[in-house]
Amino acid sequence: MALPDSEWSFTAAFHFSVSINDKPVSFCEVSGIECTLDVDPVVSGGDSSHSYYVPKSRKYSDLVLKRGVVKGDDDFFVWCKEILSTELTKGGIKPKNLLVSLLNEGGEELVTWSFTNAYPVKWSLGAFNADKSEVALETVTLKYYSFDVQKKVPKKNESANK
């Protein structure tokens, strides 16, 4: 018996895309998509046994992107290098907008997170180890102003409905 598509079909976390200012950039891992609402506790005037929580502000986690070290310079590397090595007094921070999309098996976007005014704050290189045969990975940590999430309903394949 087949389960209904809407409630019990899950999406694999390995099929995703990243674009920066509408240009696709390949990464092997994306993490840090998180928003927390900070609250202040307020104790009621005559009742000290209960607290109420008043929303204060949103906090966003850092967005962390990992990829294999690319031969030569690409636009993403140049952008990160300029921001992380230019004097801050010379207007070195040029934020960009990022999209991270979770894709279905057909490559259609299911969920897209859009990050506004993102810029790198940390770049690191993974360890070199002669005992292992692994790809050299670089990790870039980004701050951003805000993010929004949009879920999309993929188009049904016409041939599948026949």
pLDDT at 11: 74
**pLDDT tens by residue, the chain, 162 residues:** 454 555 556 777 888 999 999 999 999 999 999 999 999 988 877 777 788 899 999 999 999 999 998 887 888 999 999 899 888 776 778 999 999 999 888 888 899 999 999 999 999 998 888 898 888 999 999 999 999 999 887 566 544 444
**Rounded distance between C-alpha atoms, residue 63 and residue 102, angstroms:** 15
- For 138, the token pair is 């670089």
Can you list the domains of the chain with their CATH numbers?
Answer: 13-34+59-153 (2.30.110.20)
Longest dimension (CA), the chain: 67
pLDDT at 162: 43
Per-residue exposure over 52-78, b if at least 16 CB sit within 10 Å of its own CB, e if not: eeeeeeeebeebbbebeeeeeeeebbe
